Amino acid sequence: MIRIILNRILISIPVLLVITVASFLMQQSLISITDIKRIEDSHQYSTTFKKAFENESLPLFYASVSPSNFPDTLYKIKNPLTRNRLKALLRRGGDWKLIEKLNQTEYQLFQQSDATGFNNVLLNTTDPTVLNQLIKNIPDSLSKSVIWANWMNEWDAVQLNLKPARLVIPRIHWFGSQNAFHLWFSKVLRFEFGNSSVDNQPVKDKVKEALSWTLSVNLFALMLIYFFSIILGEYIFRSKRNIDGWLMFFYTLPRFFLGMILIILFSSNTVHPFLHIFPTPGFIDSMPGVSWVTRWITYGKYLILPLICMVLPGLAYVVSLYRTRLQEESKKPYAFMSWVRGESASTLLSHHLRKNALLPLIALLGSELPVLISGSVAIEVLFNIPGMGRLMMQSILLQDWNTVFAILLLTALITIVGRLISDLMTQMLDQRIK
Amino acid sequence: MSDGGGTYPNLFDAHPPFQIDGNFGAIAGMAEMILQSHTDAIEILPALPSKWKDGKMEGLKARGNITVDVHWKDHVLSELKLLSKSSGIKKIKYMGKIKEVNLRANQWSILKPADF
């Protein structure tokens, strides 16, 4: 048993690692895209820029593979525009020593006051081909100055020294533990995801509050699904009714569509005032820290419709699975033997069929939890529940990447843990797998 | 019997040293002439041989743990006794007619040919 647990945990470690690395890279690229946009759009250049590029003075990862002419300190150039221009030259096979010299001259150039505005044109151009065209049109007043002459010479030197062959030879740089991923990951392991860029609250607190709602609602929905599935599945099995059509209907019904129908029917006067049973969806959890029982009693009436939305499609699926499993089991020799021994149908069901038919349902438990959580995004947005789904949606729209990736990682973790639990439960219950 | 064929008085076959088809298969075949319960109905005397004019078979088990005693005279059922370990309705089939019998646990139910 311990061997199996260890085995499963060992398998899930590389999966988690891949997810972490992928989300880190996505987060980095998203932050730089967002912030380049912000640099272009807003005048809050300096503050946003500094915040976003806190880690930029560090290399991205433990090691990097680049062509031999690329320096290992390129990440230290903080201005993305300058960096992109230098990269464009390097990608053509330029020599780094010459390019570095050119960059220093450019820096001096930008320090100067410039009446023609040509410096800005130069600053914003990253493509060397376009730059070559521009140089031809340099105003005379500029080309006579010493720095410009220097720059022109160095530019020509770089252009003459382009050797694409340098790109073919790879070089591996090793940066050690002082890199952005290492720092980020060690924070993630301590569940520190930084502050939200929307309200500057710690992401940890925001997610914790949202997670408690989502988990409690989803676990309750899961319990309801399984409770009613067993009752309904056995009823259908014994009465031999065919309600496959209905099951299929509810299974394929999109949850948000069902939600909208329910809202229109039961929480508004649109159809009939008599049907206005439930309050208008949406509440704000105004008593964080109060016990869960009190909160559920207070907000329970807001959760009935969303729970119906979550339970119905899942219920239809689990019921049809359980019914099919019962039918399969009832055709097996042991069920025949039970009939031969003169046992009643209810004894057969409760003593033999139920145990065996429930096994795949328990295996399903692990995969049903992440489905519910991802499915609850639509439901939480629709019914305005302050859970993870709504937080994720809001954070994506507001480009609050710290929160988005914290939720992403947590969801991955929940999925893996759910799988692990269902695996272990199947192991414990099914003697044959042992 | 002398040359190793036929059956002993207890209906085991006389082929040496041991013939499982002969020992069990032949008797199972004979039992199925008197009583069958492959479907949900218990069928009485489905294929009574013409040479067995009068006779009885006692203690035979039908599927569903039901003990069945069958007595017949002139190729016709004279008495049928059923003992079940659990209560419930059972279907009894005789001469193509089906009768539903309410059996009580551990109590003998006696049926006459007039009941069919």
Give this complex's ipTM: 0.70
Q: A341 contacts in B (CB within 8 Å)? A: 65
Q: What is the pLDDT of residue A320?
A: 92
What is the SS3 assignment for B75? coil
Does B86 contact A341 at a Cβ distance shorter than 8 Å? Answer: no
Residue type, A318: V
Rounded distance between C-alpha atoms, residue A64 and residue B67, angstroms: 83
Its pTM stands at 0.68
The type of residue at A426 is: T
Name the residue in chain A with its Cα closest to that of B85: A342
Residue A422 and residue A366 in contact, taking contact as beta carbons nearer than 8 Å: yes
* Interval A51-64: pLDDT, tens: 444 545 677 778 88
pLDDT level of residue B1 (50, 70, 90 thresholds): very low
Tell me: the pLDDT tens digits for B99-110? 898 888 888 989
Name the residue of chain B whose CA is nearest to A335's CA: B64
Q: What is the predicted pLDDT for the residue at A36? A: 56
Question: Is a pLDDT exceeding 60 seen at residue B89?
Answer: yes
Per-residue model confidence as pLDDT tens for chain A (434 residues) = 788 888 888 888 898 889 888 888 888 777 766 655 555 554 444 444 444 445 456 777 788 888 888 887 777 776 777 778 888 888 888 888 888 888 888 777 777 766 666 777 776 776 777 877 877 777 777 777 787 788 888 888 888 888 888 888 888 888 878 788 888 888 888 888 888 878 888 888 888 888 888 888 888 999 999 999 999 999 999 888 888 899 999 999 888 899 999 888 888 888 788 888 888 777 777 776 777 778 778 888 888 888 999 899 889 999 999 999 999 999 999 998 888 888 888 888 888 898 888 888 887 887 777 777 777 888 888 888 888 888 988 898 988 888 888 888 888 888 888 888 888 877 777 766 65
Is B64 within 8 Å of A344 when comparing Cβ atoms?
no
Q: Does A345 touch chain B (CB under 8 A)?
A: no
- Which residue in chain A is spatially nearest to B67 when comparing CA positions? A342
Contacts A340 to B, Cβ<8 Å = 63-65
Angle formed at CA B43 by CA B41 and CA B49, multiple of 5 degrees? 165
Average pLDDT, chain B: 86
Q: Determine whether the interchain pair B65/A344 forms a contact, defined as Cβ–Cβ distance below 8 Å.
A: no
Q: Minimal Cα–Cα distance from B72 to chain A, Å?
A: 26
**To the nearest whole angstrom, how far is the Cα of A336 from the nearest Cα of chain B?**
10
- pLDDT at A431 (0 to 100): 67
Q: Does B36 touch chain A (CB under 8 A)?
A: no
Q: Which residues of A touch B66 (CB under 8 A)?
A: 342
**Which of B42, B63, B89 to mutate against chain A (most A CBs within 10 Å)?**
B63
What pLDDT sits at residue A57? 63
Q: Is the pLDDT assigned to residue B3 strictly greater than 80?
A: no
Strands lying side by side in the sheet with B41-44: B35-36, B41-44, B88-94, B97-103
Classify residue B103 by its DSSP letter.
Answer: E
Does any CB of chain A come closer than 8 Å to the CB of residue B34?
no
Q: What string of H, E and C letters represents the secondary structure of chain A? A: CHHHHHHHHHHHHHHHHHHHHHHHHHHHHHHHHHHHHHHHHCCCHHHHHHHHCHHHHCCCCCEEEEECCCCCCHHHCCCHHHHHHHHHHHHCCCCHHHHHHHHHHHHHHHHCCCCCCHHHHHHHCCCHHHHHHHHHCCCHHHHCCHHHHHHHHHHHHHHHCCCHHHHCCEEEEECCCCCHHHHHHHHHHCCCCCECCCCCCEHHHHHHHHHHHHHHHHHHHHHHHHHHHHHHHHHHHHHCCCCHHHHHHHHHCCHHHHHHHHHHHHCCCCCCHHHCCCCCCCCCCCCCCCCHHHHHHHHHHHHHHHHHHHHHHHHHHHHHHHHHHHHHHHCCHHHHHHHHCCCCHHHHHHHHHHHHHHHHHHHHHHHHHHHHHHHHHHHHHHHCCCCHHHHHHHHHHCCCHHHHHHHHHHHHHHHHHHHHHHHHHHHHHCCCCC
Q: Is B35 on the interface with A (CB under 8 A)?
A: no
Minimal C-alpha gap between B61 and chain A (Å): 10
Average pLDDT (B8-36) is 84
Cross-chain residue pair B85–A340, CB shorter than 8 Å: no
Q: How many CB pairs under 8 A join A and B?
A: 16
Q: Which residues of A touch B65 (CB under 8 A)?
A: 340-342
Q: Does B84 touch chain A (CB under 8 A)?
A: yes
Which residue, among A301, A269, A262, A297, has the nearest Cα to A282 in the 3D structure?
A301
Crossing angle of helices A388-397/A401-429, nearest 10°? 150
